[in-house]
A and B are shown apart, each in its own frame.
Chain A
Amino acid sequence: MSESFDLVVVGAGPAGLAAATEAAGLGLSAVVIDEQPEPGGQIYRAVERAARGVAGDALGEDYRHGAGVVAAFRASGAVYRPGLQVWQVEQEGEVLASDGESTTSFVGKRVLIAVGAMERPVPIPGWTLPGVMGVGAAQVMLKASGIVPAGDTWVAGSGPLPLLYLAQVAAAGGRIAGYIDTTPPGNRWTAAAHLGGALRNFPYVRKGLALRAHLKGSGIPVEAADAVAATGDGKVERVRWRVGGQWKEAPCDLLLLHEGVVPNAHVTMAVGCAHDWDDRQRCFRPHLDAWGHTDIGPIMVAGDCGGIEGARAAEVRGRLAALATAAGVGRITAEERDRRAQPLRRELGRHLPIRAFLDTLFAPRRDLLSPADDVVVCRCEAITAKKVRDAVAIGAVGPNQTKAFIRSGMGPCQGRLCGLTVTEVIAEATGKTPGEVGFFRIRPPLKPLTIGELATVTPAG
């Protein structure tokens, strides 16, 4: 079964929804395919329900902005196909998506990859224990299910999200035992050089300061630390953190980690798009032009999967990609595209200058990027950093060789949780840059698929 559109969008977050809304407004046929049952992506997860639910007020005004984005999409006439997992994108513009039983083929004159960000992997001792999760994971549960921490929950990490989550949990009536702030103190000096850009988005800075003030007034203990570990027998029982060379510890039955977000680049990697190493964000991002075109004909990218810029910038990127699509398929002229893009580029100019400040202020510490020998790097295959270093010592020249040598990246997550760490460990061991080392070669299917389903797929055309 195959369906054809001017624009096929993968991902129903702010970038994908705004792109489809804009495209439909320009008279294009557009479809949004998403693996979640409701539109909004992770940032606006369940925003239609939350607006009337218990958690809605606690989640704050930035979250509620998403209700407008979703409403505009619902009214746009674009087709919405939730609950589908994209497991392959062809370079010619075909997208294969599974509902768990059968696969549908979507063919687009343009395909917009808008699959957003994921939390940066946090390889610390004990991070595979049950009860250790991402702060983003916990926030998803708060948004989608109204679930809050109740016992000895500790948050450990750095960045805007832990501060936001602590405030949201407090407002929703949950309980956090303490916050371990792992932001390297030296970061503030390097970040100071980018303060000018930050102040160009003063409302954002003001919100950040308000979250810090809220944390101070909340009575939640805040511990500065340069290392964190989880311990326990079969589940997390204690959290340990190091301050001034001394280890401290506390009882803990839920440890929430966060060290920033990185592009969810597996789809663009699998398609074969060119990627650049982003040294400031310590991640790979697809090589894009100002409209979101990759180096592969019909494949475009918008939002955080093209580099972390935040939800509001993602909306603008989505609309720019829609304009480029409309011009590309002959619906509007290039002049019309450029005219409509002008206010969007001005808006982007308000959202982007703060990123350098945030990226440097919350830059992850070195031993998180390339962890100590005994730390598990690849969760699926239980591969430690030492095994990766040993593989390099006996001749593995890059991430793909470590797959063959030690199976890192060969488990069900296909390297999503270890890819960047394996790259960083190899870069450190070989004296190369991460960009020179490169990333795992990502192959289809991108999601678990039964052989029976694969056998029923009929290629388009």
Chain B
Amino acid sequence: MLRKLPDPAGGVVTVIVEGRPCEVGPNDTAAAAALLAGIGHTRTSPVTGEPRAPFCMMGVCHECLMVIDGVPSRQACLVTVREGMRIDRQVGPRALQPAGADAHV
């Protein structure tokens, strides 16, 4: 579906997409990482439960809402990857965290 052109000067960052390590470029977005990882869908609709995936890649459509390092409803196409970043699907409505709870658990 998609592949990344080799970029010898680009460097490598390892992110964890749905629990699996995935090597991407240091300037890639979390949404691009999810697409390159081939996980298919990046969220399920809170309305219908259907699988959805990034559509516009420029911050407009909000289809790429994902859980990034434990924080829900991040626009993954606007988040640049960091070493060790955890990028997870957002399943249904985003979870509400009780006050004081560790958002990363």
A452 CA to B15 CA, complexed, in Å: 27
Whole-angstrom distance between the Cβ of A271 and the nearest chain B Cβ: 18
Q: Which of B60-89 contact A (CB under 8 A)?
A: 60-63, 65, 73-75, 78, 80
A53 to nearest B CB, angstroms? 6
Which B residues touch A149, using CB under 8 A? 1-2
CB contact under 8 A between A134 and B55, given known A52-B9, A147-B36, A264-B60:
yes
Asked whether A128 lies within 8 Å of B50 as measured between CB atoms, the reply is yes
Known: A134-B56, A137-B56. A235 touches B50 (CB 8 A): no
B90 to chain A, nearest CB (A): 10
Q: Which residues of B contact A429 (CB under 8 A)?
A: none
Residues of B within 8 A of A151 (CB): 1
B91 at interface by CB-CB < 8 Å? no
Given known A-B contacts A136-B58, A144-B28, A130 and B52 have beta carbons under 8 A apart: yes
Contact with A along B1-28 (1 / 0, CB 8 A): 1111111011000000000000011011
Q: Is there an interface contact between A235 and B40, defined as CB atoms closer than 8 Å?
A: yes
Docked-complex contact B27 and A144, CB < 8 angstroms: yes
The answer to whether B32 has its CB under 8 Å from any CB of chain A is yes
In angstroms, Cα B63 to Cα A379, docked, is 8
By a CB distance below 8 angstroms, the chain A residues around B61 are 379, 413, 416-417
Taken residue by residue from 27 to 62, chain A's Cβ proximity to chain B (1 for < 8 Å, 0 otherwise) reads as: 000000001111000100010010011110000000
At the interface, is chain B mostly helix, strand, loop or mixed?
loop
**How far is B51's CA from A381's CA once the two chains are assembled, in angstroms?**
13
Q: A256-293: contact bitstring with B at CB < 8 Å (1 yes, 0 no)?
A: 00000000100000000000000000000000000000
Query: Counting CB contacts under 8 A, is A253 at the interface?
Result: yes
Interface size for A (C-beta < 8 A) is: 54
| CA A53 to CA B50, docked complex, whole Å | 37
Which residues from A are CB-within-8-Å of B35? 141, 147
A-side contacts of B1, CB under 8 Å: 131, 149-151, 153, 253-254
In the bound complex, CA of A100 to CA of B76 (Å): 12
A365-404 CB mask vs B (1 if < 8 Å, else 0) is 0000000000000011110000000000000000000000
Output the nearest chain A residue to B80 by Cβ-Cβ distance.
A37
User: Contact at A137–B6, with CB atoms within 8 Å?
Assistant: no
CB–CB A150/B3 < 8 A: yes
A137-B57, A448-B73 known; A382-B40 Cβ under 8 A: no
Whether B105 is near chain A, meaning CB under 8 Å from some CB there, is no
Using CB atoms, name the residue of chain A closest to B28.
Answer: A145
B60 touches A417 (CB 8 A): yes
The yes or no answer to A186 lying at the interface (CB within 8 A) is: no
Give the Cβ gap from B6 to chain A, nearest Cβ, in Å.
Answer: 7
- Asked if A140 lies at the interface with its beta carbon under 8 angstroms from chain B, I say yes
Identify which of A38, A55, A234, A412 contacts B73 (C-beta below 8 A): A412
The residue in chain B whose Cβ has the minimal distance to the Cβ of A254 is: B1
The CA-CA distance from A148 to B5 in the complex, in Å, is 7
Across the interface, A147 reaches (CB within 8 A) one of B5, B45, B80, namely B5
B32 in contact with A147 (CB, 8 Å): yes
A: which residues have CB within 8 A of B?
35-38, 42, 46, 49, 52-55, 85, 100, 118-119, 128, 130-134, 136-138, 140-141, 144-151, 153, 172-174, 234-235, 253-254, 264, 379-382, 411-413, 416-417, 447-448
30 contacts between A and B (CB under 8 A): A35-B59, A36-B78, A49-B27, A53-B10, A54-B7, A85-B59, A119-B56, A128-B50, A128-B52, A137-B54, A137-B56, A141-B57, A145-B4, A145-B28, A145-B32, A147-B4, A147-B32, A147-B35, A153-B1, A235-B40, A235-B41, A254-B2, A379-B55, A379-B61, A380-B47, A382-B45, A412-B62, A413-B61, A413-B63, A416-B60
- A sample of 15 more A-B contacts (CB under 8 A), given A130-B42, A253-B1, is A100-B74, A128-B50, A130-B40, A141-B2, A147-B32, A147-B35, A148-B2, A235-B51, A264-B60, A380-B47, A382-B47, A382-B50, A411-B62, A417-B60, A448-B75
